[in-house]
Amino acid sequence: MKRLIFFALLAGGLLLGGIDCGGDDDDDGAAGGDAGSGGSGVSDGKSFAYECGGDEADCDLLDAYSCGDGYGCQFLLPSSGDRAAFAQCSEAGDGQDGEACDAKSPCAPGFHCHGSACHNYCCQYGASSECPTGQACVIALDDGQGDVSDVSLCDACDECNPLTLEGCEDGQGCYPIAPEDESENSGCRLCLTSVGEKAAGEACEAVNECSPGLGCYSVEGGDSQCVPFCDLDAVPDACEDGTICQDSAGSTEMGLQIGICLTAQ
């Protein structure tokens, strides 16, 4: 089950606004627990322009080359003490995206061992731009003290349909997430458990506050509200009077002809 994701529709794309801190995609146990705590590593003491990694970060999790040869930047617990996990240089292995890993067979620089498999690091939870095509930033790491950190991991998108809900479990909705910038990632669709039953037109802050088949969008620059998904190829479309099916949900970039019902201009 993926966490609650807040976003609004702006200029035809989705803008991540924030996240909730619960859910089953959070790392089970201490951050970096699958691969152990930090080692001696190497660091040249420079200040890095890292996007995330904890208050004590000494390297850049999004830069595979921010540590010396043979080392990678890892989000790990300190080798001693009870402080929270942070980004630190640790001896790296050869494991690439999706390959098996453990404490004796660590991942290559730029990857984190989670669930016995290597995953790319990312910092924008719920977004897709920092992840390879076909993946999104949906695995949140614990900081080792019981709190969700600002560090996440990429994982495979869901093959689901926002309109028919095909590919999702009962009680879930399917939501498209478009890239936030000029990333090569073509976007993503995620199955998210519905935490509300809000109908079309009701105010919302998160997509999965709306009933499955609806998304939470800022309409015409106003406050966010639940809006129905629709089939762009349907003639006539199934939108209610006064609205038409428009390509504003970013789905067509992901191989689907699905839009949302918006007021006719």
Q: What is the mean pLDDT of the chain?
A: 77
In a domain, 209, yes or no: yes
- pTM, two decimals, is 0.69
Does some domain include residue 151? yes
State the Cα–Cα distance between residues 222 and 7, nearest whole angstrom: 13
Residue 151 and residue 61 in contact, taking contact as beta carbons nearer than 8 Å: yes
Phi, psi of 161 (to 5 degrees): -120, 115
Query: Among 137-141, 182-186, 247-251, which stretch is predicted with the lowest mean pLDDT?
Result: 182-186
Q: Can you give the pLDDT at residue 251?
A: 62
CA-to-CA distance for 240 and 246, rounded, in angstroms? 13
Instruction: State residue 71's pLDDT score.
Output: 94
| 88 and 128 belong to one structural domain | yes
Domain that holds residue 116: 31-156
Q: What percent of the chain has pLDDT over 70?
A: 75
- Distance CA(73)–CA(248), nearest Å, equals 38
Residue 181 lies in a domain: yes
* Residue 203 DSSP label: B
Q: Which of 220, 217, 221 minimizes the C-alpha distance to 202?
A: 217
Same domain, 85 and 137: yes
The domain boundary residue, chosen from 98, 131, 156: 156
Average pLDDT over residues 110-137: 90
Per DSSP (E only), the strands in the chain are: 5-10, 13-19, 71-76, 86-91, 111-114, 117-122, 135-142, 148-156, 172-177, 188-193, 214-218, 224-231, 243-246, 258-263
Q: Cis (ω within 30 of 0) for the bond into 236?
A: yes
Is the domain of 134 the same as that of 61?
A: yes
Same domain, 35 and 114: yes
pLDDT one-digit tens code per residue, 34-45: 444 444 333 333
* 81 and 189 both lie in a single domain: no
Contact call for residues 172 and 125 (beta carbons, < 8 A) = no
Question: d(Cα 219, Cα 262) in Å, to the nearest integer?
Answer: 8
pLDDT over 80 at 12, yes or no = no
Q: What local confidence, expressed as pLDDT, does residue 185 receive?
A: 61
If one counts the domains in the chain, the total is 2
Let me know whether 118 and 61 are in one domain.
Answer: yes
- Residue 250 C-alpha from the chain's centroid: 16
55, 91: one domain: yes
Evaluate whether residue 162 is within a structural domain: no
